[in-house]
Chains A and B, each alone.
Chain A
């Protein structure tokens, strides 16, 4: 992670000082929020669907071993080769060696967050294999040499004006007109022949269908079809939590996923892959590989709270509706996944010590949980990390000391009243015109906003007095 050396707070400051970034975030998340809201008014069964979706995922997670074996059996029967990876490194190494076995010079990729999670772009680059990102947004990320900043719109952090400049610099026949269509055409010209000349294609999967061994991918650009059809070898990488029992279940989950992600009823393209080219097929890959990735998921399975996170279908609604994400964008989070779901997942992947800010940088307002299509109690899971951070001694000594004093004082009402009275006196000493000004210790608040002066006496003191007079 290129950002890991800079602290979360420093990254946040940098993002907050970037008005272009803010404009880009607002455009993408604002549109997503509006479209989802409209979709919800036309989806009165949402609550019921969400409940079913939650139950389907919970059922699969509770019977993961069963469904994994069923999926493997059926995938093998369809002619696919199934590989198992327990860590990110193992997964990306399996993919790289499959590419090498196929003598691949050029691979095409369809965006998948799991690919990012296992460090695939980097591993391919290291291995000297030319990597062509076929998703328009990933193409932009690749041109910019950075990482996805959103799980659905990886190049959310770029305004279209910036993208236009990037295309003009990088494309052989760039667009002339400043329209979205012209820019898309420019990317298409650049990418189309590469699509056709790649040796291997790599995609992710939104769902793994246990009873058929098929994989399902949704895109809005149709690049999944074009990418995965011409090359001789197709590799799918997927997290083991992507399983659903059958295609009917996949369709129910799809309704939740697409409406929550983009507000549309369906994505433009929903692609199913089942095994390699069969005799009589006009096209399709000769080899079809599926890499099933654990990377911490079975560890989450053993944790009563984190287990709930395995329901996540990567729709991005939680980040689109998060006040913190909408100020910072995705890169500040420092991990593969940003926003509320990323703040839960990054400590799993990268360890809590380096990511303890993520679960703390949250107001606990609960909006993410409200919009999550599989009802993941994200604030509760974030609080779980805070708990662990406290227990493992990762919290600052000042905070620990402060809270234990506070608890002691708050356990003794008389002492507590005295403390309150003193605090009021001190604050009033620093007060002028109804506001506390320049009081030491209050800087984090008063740097940005005014702090009201307290009343002369506390409620409890005044109440006692008035009751005595009654």
Chain B
């Protein structure tokens, strides 16, 4: 599935429900605030639905479809009132956009609601570019970065060019291409703790590729993958600092990176 390119920017400021995602909420709120700022700068009226919790992806990927369905219905109810739903994670948005219909397939009414909400649900970078036609201005960061394309965003949502287009507008920031940028980092949600040795072998190769890129920063659009890769880089004593792309775009690129003291 690829993101449909909308012809023109919404005429009046759309009402956007920010889908914070569990990891950003608990681990790295700065990504959420970066998303908030970017969406507001892009001209959206942003609200953060209070009722949101978890999208049900851990249950879904464990084969527990019944529990996933409970959380899917909750999610739909919480976000249905908004024009758009936007989240800073390809994986969580992929869950709601590409899989809710399947999770709720036993119930035609709910799966139809899932489909309709899915059409209005976007990963942050693709929403900023494809829907809002947003271009960051006045963002500076003297550094070089390499970019990892997280799998769900890339393959379920077609997120690839959008973050690069946005980061290209950051003054002083240069891209150093990552060999195997579309190869999975070995995170895989619960996979990384269910099969830690296999996951470790995969992320070790990824960390080597990141080092070879020669970049000072590792950027990406999914906190889970970033925690996995930065965790390996840090363990190996690498100097590469890892941030969510939204943080850099929101001018927070000089703040503490993932795994640095706040």
A: residues with CB less than 8 A from B are 9, 12-13, 16, 323-324, 327-328, 360-367, 369-370, 380, 383, 385-391, 395, 399-400, 403-404, 406-407, 409-411, 413, 416, 420, 423-424, 433-435, 444-445, 447-460, 462-463
Contact = CB atoms under 8 A, between A and B. Distances in A.
A416 B53 contact: yes
A342 to B, nearest CB: 15
A433 B200 CA distance: 23
A237 B21 CA distance: 52
B202 A327 contact: yes
Contacts of A327: 198, 201-202
B26 A452 contact: no
A445 B260 CA distance: 18
Contact of A323 (B52, B184, B234): B184
A400 B63 CA distance: 10
A323 B231 contact: no
A127 B32 CA distance: 68
- Please provide the 7 A-B residue pairs with the shortest distance between their CB atoms, ordered closest to farther: A363-B188, A386-B63, A449-B231, A390-B63, A365-B184, A459-B29, A365-B151
Contacts of B70: 407, 411
A378 B163 CA distance: 28
Contacts of B191: 360-364
Given A16-B198, A365-B188, A410 B183 contact: no
A455 B62 CA distance: 28
A413 B235 contact: no
B194 A360 contact: yes
Nearest to A399: B62
Contacts of A445: 192-193, 196, 231
Contacts, number: 196
24 contacts: A12-B195, A324-B198, A327-B201, A360-B195, A362-B191, A363-B199, A367-B155, A386-B61, A386-B63, A399-B62, A403-B62, A410-B53, A413-B50, A413-B51, A416-B53, A445-B231, A448-B199, A449-B203, A450-B234, A451-B227, A451-B259, A452-B258, A459-B33, A460-B48
Given A361-B195, A387-B65, A457 B200 contact: no
A423 B192 CA distance: 20
Contacts of B50: 413, 460
Contacts of B184: 323, 363, 365, 367
Interface centre among B183, B195, B203, B256 (most CB of A within 10 A): B195
A413 B33 CA distance: 20
A154 to B, nearest CB: 23
A107 B191 CA distance: 45
A463 B198 contact: no
Contacts of A410: 53-54, 56, 71, 74
Contact of A448 (B65, B200, B259): B200
B45 to A, nearest CB: 13
Instruction: Tell me if A's interface is mostly helix, strand, loop or mixed.
Output: helix
Contacts of B202: 323-324, 327, 363
A365 B193 contact: no
B69 to A, nearest CB: 10
A385 B191 CA distance: 15
A186 B81 CA distance: 73
B262 interface: yes
Nearest to A458: B25
A452 B63 contact: no
A164 to B, nearest CB: 27
Interface string B20-43: 100011111110110010000000
A435 B156 CA distance: 32
A406 B62 contact: no
Contact of B262 (A363, A420, A434): A434
B58 interface: yes
Contacts of A413: 50-53
Contacts of B156: 366
Contacts of B227: 451-452
Nearest to B67: A407
B187 interface: yes
B173 interface: no
B197 interface: yes
Interface centre among B102, B196, B198 (most CB of A within 10 A): B198
A423 B27 CA distance: 10
B230 interface: yes
Contacts of A449: 200, 203, 228, 231-232, 234-235
B209 interface: no
Contacts of B195: 9, 12, 360-361
A449 to B, nearest CB: 3
Interface in B38-90: 48, 50-54, 56, 58-65, 67, 70-71, 74
A433 B261 CA distance: 5
B97 to A, nearest CB: 14
A12 B198 contact: yes
A370 B64 CA distance: 25
Nearest to B156: A366
A386 B197 contact: no
